[in-house]
Structure 1
Amino acid sequence: SEEQEPEAVLHQRHKRSIDDDILVTKEDRREIANCNSILTFSSRPKLQKETQLGMHITFNTADVPHDLLLAQAMLRVYKQPSSLEQRQNFTVSIYRRIYSHQRGNNEDDDAVYRIVQSVNTTSSYKGWLEFNLTPTLQSWLLQKNYQQSRRHELRVAVDVAGLSGLEAGLVAPQQQARSKLEPYIVGYFNGPELLVKVQKLRFKRDLQKRKANLPSGQQRMDKMPSPEHYRPPQSCERLNFTVDFKELQMHNWVIAPKKFEAYFCGGGCNFPLGTKMNATNHAIVQTLMHLKQPHLPKPCCVPTVLGAITILRYLNEDIIDLTKYQKTVAKECG
């Protein structure tokens, strides 16, 4: 079991047990803190011949936004205790398939694989094996412009003659029944922190549906809320404002949260501006000038402190995106 592993081996980034407190390491926390988008790529099995001992898995990198910059990517493969001799040492290696423009893409007999990384383990180990896949994923993302229909392939192999990955205890992806222990890639990205990506995704998916629902020769007009529903307060303050993704017709691909409190600022900024209104010098000067020249507008009640919101959503059936959007929630007004 994992308790029998040497402490020096157990506490490494590339090898972690699900029962140990290193499931999320300091390196993980540092990567999470330094990025604003985390993408998870689930694996799919690849049909292979019975004579092939290596475990072949494929990944889909389509629909990853072009404006995301990859910081780091890790492949995680789960290992169960195997039937080998107790505590037998062996090596698990990851190979990346190299496609050639000169040969057909379906010639598996002549397929070329290049080693990516290897990890040492034992037959009794139970937990996740982790491999640095940053250069490989970066290459896949650069190639996706002209390889949209291709799934990228990796081969997972062990260095024991005649031993398959499954016999070594490696968990492979299933075609139908999915498992939480299947191999996956986690990628840490940085990119724009605006909700434009979510907005564009909603528009793209709903455009045809909206057109189909429009009566011929008529233009649909969205119902505007009655002005009586909102009565601004006398002085500037923060007011409740709930964003509901179902109401925005985005609930089919937004996993969480289903809704959140964004708040908004409303009310008048009247003279004199108190300290609790968080007024800026510009707002104070504008208020004084409004008293002398009424044609100049009074300062507006706006957010002075904004907070972040984290949204978990599907990019497609194989990719889940967790992005932190800054300046989304009004914390204070003034």
Structure 2
Amino acid sequence: MNKFTIASVAVATALLAGCGGSSSGSNGGDGNTGKPPVGGEAEVCFNPTLWEDATHEATWQARWSEESDFYLQTEHTQISNGVDFEEHKSITQVEYISNYSETPLGFELESKSHRLQKSRNGSSQRFEYYVIDEQSTSVSYAGDQYVNDFDGSVEDDRDVNSPAAPQWLFGSDKGQTTAASYTSEFSFFLDGQLEDRLVYGQNKRQVTFNGFETIDVNGKSVETCSFSIDSTLKGNADGEVWTDIEQSEQWIDKDTGVVVKSIRSFQEIVDGMVDYESYEEKVLKAYVIDGEVIFSTEDEELPEA
């Protein structure tokens, strides 16, 4: 299937964040000016039509430790363009319409500033924001937003990266690493009024295109682009000092541009001790856009190129 014939698809399952930086490659970014590498080998895995307005459904095999069994997880998302998010104007929004799964009992999704949960008498919304640069074939992560309506009181949490943090730099060559730095700012609104705003600290990130790799995706052999992303945050806010270390590897299908496998590990270190850590591994089973199957590990027929 020719990825550029797909009407509308989105890689709504991105896990990390980051834009701009310096690169060790000859076509690399220009310092920390927000210019990612261009013209590299990984461009074959970039599919701009993935980020057009559409409704998406991704079904995964997921697990939260290397020793645990995989369970089924399904995500529903809506892609919308031309959305403003704090300083980032007219960018791409990914709204998580619903998340449901056979999640192990007691498991809770958690992030640095907030926990994603649902009140008995309320509702929750989650949004992620991306900057898509077709000229440099890059995807950068501007931040996220959680909106919770608990008994009529609306809480709005926002994490914003300045500048947007490099996520996938498809202009990279094999073995090329691009470095970037950016700040992460947290804001909390209550019923539309700003209650708190603070800068967590300075993030440093390295995005590496490892090259092409053929991997097993739930029994299906898939040729992919492999990316590694290493991020470190030196946090210092409200008298608290900590270090967050996040490492991930993601494999992107060359035919469609969708993420087919990802592994992520995270540690928060306080006073030299690990205060919190997590692990996530996801392997794609199927990806559907506006009702059309784009990727599947089953034997069903896919649309012709």
So what's the TM-score if we normalise by structure 2?
0.23
Higher helix proportion: 1
Bigger strand fraction = 2
